[in-house]
């Protein structure tokens, strides 16, 4: 019978651990409002269309890539696989400061 006692004790530990894990996960998990607030933390307006959303994404992507390369346009263009002239046009179109 020692095995039965061990199994029962083990089952109780698993159950208690499961409850603790679930409680911890619920406490640490952000809700939808927190996720939305984090996504909009840069205070950009909500896009009204797919093209607005893509333009906002592209502007942010290019700005981040330029910042990562210290503002060096040619290095950034090579890194992201875009032609130098195209990158210069997009920088002007989006009003990105280099």
Query: Tell me: the pLDDT tens digits for 9-20?
Result: 544 444 444 544
Asked whether residue 57 carries a pLDDT value surpassing 80, the answer given is: yes
Q: Tell me the CATH number for domain 45-98.
A: 1.10.10.60
pLDDT of residue 59: 98
pLDDT of residue 47: 83
**CA atoms 84, 47, 32, 43: torsion sign:** positive
pLDDT of residue 14: 45
What is the residue-averaged pLDDT of the chain? 76
User: CA–CA separation, 6 vs 58, rounded Å?
Assistant: 59
Domain ranges of the chain: 45-98
Q: What is the mean pLDDT of residues 40-63?
A: 87
Asked whether residue 38 carries a pLDDT value surpassing 70, the answer given is: no
Burial call 40-75: b when 16+ CB within 10 Å, e when fewer: eeeeeeeeeeeeeeeebeebeebeebbeebeeeeee
Confidence of residue 21 (pLDDT cuts 50, 70, 90): very low
């Amino acid at each position: 019978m020692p095995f039965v006692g061990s199994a029962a004790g083990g089952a109780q530990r698993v159950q208690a651990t499961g409850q603790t894990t679930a409680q911890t996960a619920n406490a640490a998990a952000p809700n939808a409002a927190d996720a939305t607030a984090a996504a909009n933390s840069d205070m950009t307006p909500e896009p009204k269309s797919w093209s607005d959303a893509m333009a906002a994404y592209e502007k942010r992507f290019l700005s981040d890539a330029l910042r990562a390369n210290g503002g060096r346009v040619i290095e950034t263009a090579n890194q992201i696989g875009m032609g130098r002239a195209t990158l210069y046009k997009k920088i002007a179109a989006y009003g990105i400061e280099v």
